[in-house]
Amino acid sequence: MQKKLEISFIDRIYLFYVLLFAARATVFTSNMDYRINPFGFLLLVVPCLYLVREHRITFIDKRLVRIYVLLFLWMFIHYFVDETFKLLPYVILFINVSIGYVLIKVFREDIYELVECYITILTAVCLVLWVAMHVVGIKIFESLGVMEPTSNTSVASLLIFNVPNMAFYENQGIAGLMRNCGFAWEPGLFASIICIAIYFNLISKKTLIGNWRFYILVLGLLSTFSTTGYSALMLILVNHFIFQNKGKILRYIYLFLFLPLFLTIMSLSFMSEKMKTAGDSSWADNKAGMISLEMSNTYMTVQRGEGLYLDYLNFMDKPVLGYGTENNSYVANYLSDHLLTSNGVMKDFARFGIILALFINIIFMQNARYIDQLYNQRYCMFYFLIVVISISYPFSTLPLMIALCFNYMWSNTKTDIDKNKKIPIWK
């Protein structure tokens, strides 16, 4: 008989903190270099050790050990072949995998509903603060900042709400509205996290009627004015109304109704503008610009299209083993180490090489099948959702994403979720 799942208040607080780390809004909740951010690092690691002791979690799990061995061999080879070997990024990767494993052992399948609840709560708070920011002004909110933002795309951070930098986001919204960064370092990442919550909300609730969490999440998503978020939302709605609908006539009706919505969204000014600039390639051949970046010690995150191209160059340079750490990438060595890419689709292949990257994608697909079985879904749509949002942001090595995408490997239960079960957010 399956042991009853007991989740304490401390367990929930820790999951909440791991969610904030996935959003990376501040240096405190993003940088895992213990030399730069010792307190943030300890707050991520020490409670995890407490959970291990409290829940009597053992790391002697053959599937976990195999992943450790695989990653260790990959690191070991890099130690001998890399011109400059940096140990810390590999240590962080092992820590992230371990935290993801612990989260799965503590929360099992309940993690999906809990994460959706926490994202909904944070989104509701961020919506209120975003409206208040427009009423009282950005300068006042900037003065309330209590933490250092991860990047200069925000001018201040309240930890659960980042104040956007007008220099970056002015005129990028609609009707003079500023984009909502929410509890993430950038509006697009906030939108991507919201889309994950929307997906789990719809596959668990199965309806939009009276689904107040869905309405909150969609309102939060709309306030981001994010091409990534809007595209992912369209995929989620198509999946809900068409792919998962067993009525053939209803599918065609929904498809007919969806086409005007699709055309309306694609015609929005910021959507068309982003589509035009996404493929811009201005840095790969801009030697003067790269020299300027290095002289001013400024780092530049390139557009998505160029990011895919640069990571393609990184992949082709070391297709089997990957570059391992950024300092060994083709771009860092032959173009500029001040050019950054933010996509996750090509980056996994560039960093890990084709063998490990395919392994990661296979695990993600198998876990999507597992989610389909739990929630009576089809077509592994969670995997495709991750691919869509990963076009703009890397997710695969975050502890939260490991917990969401490796659940089928390490969860103790393989039974269907009780759809009527209520999981309290706080105990």
Q: What is the DSSP string of 94-152?
A: HHHHHHHHHHHHHHTTHHHHHHHHHHHHHHHHHHHHHHHHHHH-HHHHHHT--B-BSST
Print burial letters for 234-261: b (CB count within 10 Å at least 16), e (below 16).
bbbbbbbbeebbeeeeeeeebeeeeeee
What pLDDT is attached to residue 5?
A: 62
Between 255 and 369, where is the model more confident? 369
What pLDDT is attached to residue 420?
A: 46
SS3 75: helix
pLDDT (average), residues 66-89: 94
Q: What distance in Å separates the CA atoms of residue 237 and residue 178, rounded to the nearest whole number?
A: 26
DSSP state of 419: T
Q: Which amino acid is at 299?
A: Y
SS3 300: strand
Q: Provide the Cα torsion 33, 34, 38, 44; round to 10°.
A: 80
**pLDDT tens track for 123-138:** 999 999 999 998 998 8
Q: What distance in Å separates the CA atoms of residue 117 and residue 123, rounded to the nearest whole number?
A: 10
- Poorest-pLDDT segment among 37-41, 251-255, 357-361: 251-255
**pLDDT tens track for 220-231:** 999 999 888 998
**pLDDT tens track for 148-177:** 888 888 888 998 999 988 877 766 667 778
pLDDT (average), residues 311-320: 91
Q: Is the pLDDT of residue 237 over 60?
A: yes
Q: Is the pLDDT of residue 256 over 80?
A: no
Q: Is the pLDDT of residue 2 over 50?
A: no
Are 240 and 218 in contact by the 8 Å Cβ rule? The answer is no
**pLDDT tens track for 285-302:** 555 555 566 656 666 677
Q: Which amino acid is at 316?
A: M
Between 275 and 72, where is the model more confident? 72
What pLDDT is attached to residue 427?
A: 36
Strands 162-164 and 300-301: unpaired
Sole residue written with tokens 């933490």: 147
What pLDDT is attached to residue 217?
A: 97
Our CA angle for 120, 424, 417, nearest 5°, is 90
> Domain locations in the chain?
9-277+346-410, 279-342
Put residue 206 in one of left, alpha, beta given phi > 0 → left and psi -120 to 50 → alpha: left
DSSP state of 310: H
What pLDDT is attached to residue 273?
A: 61
Are 108 and 407 in contact by the 8 Å Cβ rule? The answer is yes
Q: Is the pLDDT of residue 284 over 90?
A: no
Take residue 334 and report the two structure tokens written for it. Answer: 């032959």
Q: Is the pLDDT of residue 391 over 90?
A: no
Query: What H or E segment, with its residue span, contains residue 192?
Result: helix 187-205
Give the residue ranges of DSSP H helices in 24-109: 38-54, 62-81, 88-107
pLDDT (average), residues 330-343: 80
| Crossing angle for the helix pair 227-238 and 381-390, to the nearest 10 degrees | 170
What pLDDT is attached to residue 331?
A: 86
What pLDDT is attached to residue 383?
A: 95
145-149, 245-249, 254-258: which has the highest mean pLDDT?
A: 145-149
Picking from 279, 391, 298, the residue whose alpha carbon sits closest to that of residue 336 is: 298
Q: Which amino acid is at 166?
A: M
Q: What distance in Å separates the CA atoms of residue 232 and residue 229, rounded to the nearest whole number?
A: 5
Q: What are phi and psi of 234, to 5 degrees?
A: -60, -40
Q: Is the pLDDT of residue 252 over 80?
A: no
Question: CA neighbours within 13 Å on the CB side: how many for 65?
Answer: 5
Q: Is the pLDDT of residue 419 over 50?
A: no
- pLDDT above 70 as % of the chain: 84
- pLDDT above 90 as % of the chain: 51
Query: What H or E segment, with its residue span, contains residue 375?
Result: helix 345-375
Q: Is the pLDDT of residue 364 over 90?
A: yes
What pLDDT is attached to residue 358?
A: 94
Sole residue written with tokens 């596959």: 203
- Poorest-pLDDT segment among 199-208, 217-226, 266-275: 266-275
Per the prediction, the chain carries an average pLDDT of 85
